[in-house]
Structure 1
Amino acid sequence: MTTLMSSCFTYTTVVGKGGQSGQSVSKWNNYVIGGLIPVGVSDPKMMANGATDYTVVTSHSFVNLLVQGITFGIYAPTTTTVTK
């Protein structure tokens, strides 16, 4: 039951003036063993594709938490969204 009640986190970073156009791209970050070991982590600067003003939001989505629960925390993804 505590797995279902675990809190979500969201981390937001604003670069320059932040996202202005509303165009966004999302990518999963891959971690194992409850998020302790990164296997594949996205690069927000690369996802911004040369933009100087963008907003980065890293969070656990419902699907991320569902996958983490199904794998008993062995695989713990997060989602990074970059808005230009």
Structure 2
Amino acid sequence: MFKKSVFLFALAMLMSGCYHAQVTTGLEASSEVYQKKWATGFIAGLVPPDIVDATEHCSNGVAKVETRHSFLNMVAQAITFSLYSPMEITVTCASGMGAVEGDNEPIELAKSSSKEIQQKTYSEAVSVASQTKKPVYIEFK
């Protein structure tokens, strides 16, 4: 019985990994960081945590967003058989929204625009970005 328990524990440790994803925006990072260590998700991540509204925490925009499962997050998930799936979310704020020299002008889009106008605006942004090989920002007004 003891050998079986050790085997199952070892198997669980080998199959578990530290999940980590990082998204960068290209903006220069500041020292301002918002962190949520226990963002609640359910059913092995099928029901994700609530969206973190970065505008509440970062006045100059976001430079980097990281999500990961810490060891304690994975322990909580294992104990609940993945019904409760917490993760850690870290948002690093940008030092400023100033455009890099030579960047494209932002494209304005009204928040109340129809789906067709939104789609045309996104298509235009993709087209300009692919032609100039530089980022295109969409400002929601």
TM-score > 0.5, shorter chain as reference: yes
Instruction: Find the structure with the greater CA-based Rg.
Output: 2
Larger RCO: Structure 1 or Structure 2 (Cα < 8 Å, ≥ 6 residues apart)?
A: 1
Flag structure 2 segments of 5+ consecutive residues without an equivalent: 1-8, 94-141
Residue 83 of structure 1: CA displacement? 1.4
Q: Is the CA contact 2:54–2:62 (under 8 Å) kept in the aligned structure 1? A: no
Is 1:9 aligned to residue 54 of structure 2? no
Instruction: Say if 1:11 and 1:18 are closer, same or farther in 2 by CA, change over 3 A.
Output: farther
Query: For 2:41 and 2:84, how far apart are their aligned partners in 1?
Result: 6
* 2:78 partner SS: helix
Equivalent pairs counted in the alignment come to 82
Q: TM-score under structure 1 normalisation? A: 0.77
Query: For 2:12 and 2:55, how far apart are their aligned partners in 1?
Result: 33
Give the equivalent residue in structure 1 for 2:136: none
Higher helix share: 2
Residue 15 of structure 1: CA displacement? 1.9
Q: Is the CA contact 2:66–2:90 (under 8 Å) kept in the aligned structure 1? A: yes
- Identity percentage of aligned residues: 30
Flag structure 1 segments of 5+ consecutive residues without an equivalent: none
Higher strand share: 1
Q: Which structure 2 residues correspond to residues 1-84 of structure 1 after superposition, within 5 A?
A: 1=9, 2-5=11-14, 6-19=16-29, 21-27=30-36, 28-38=38-48, 40-43=49-52, 45-46=54-55, 48-84=57-93
Q: Which amino acid aligns with 2:88?
A: T
Residue 26 of structure 1: CA displacement? 0.9
Residue 72 of structure 1: CA displacement? 1.6
Instruction: Say if 1:37 and 1:58 are closer, same or farther in 2 by CA, change over 3 A.
Output: same
Q: Which amino acid aligns with 1:29?
A: A
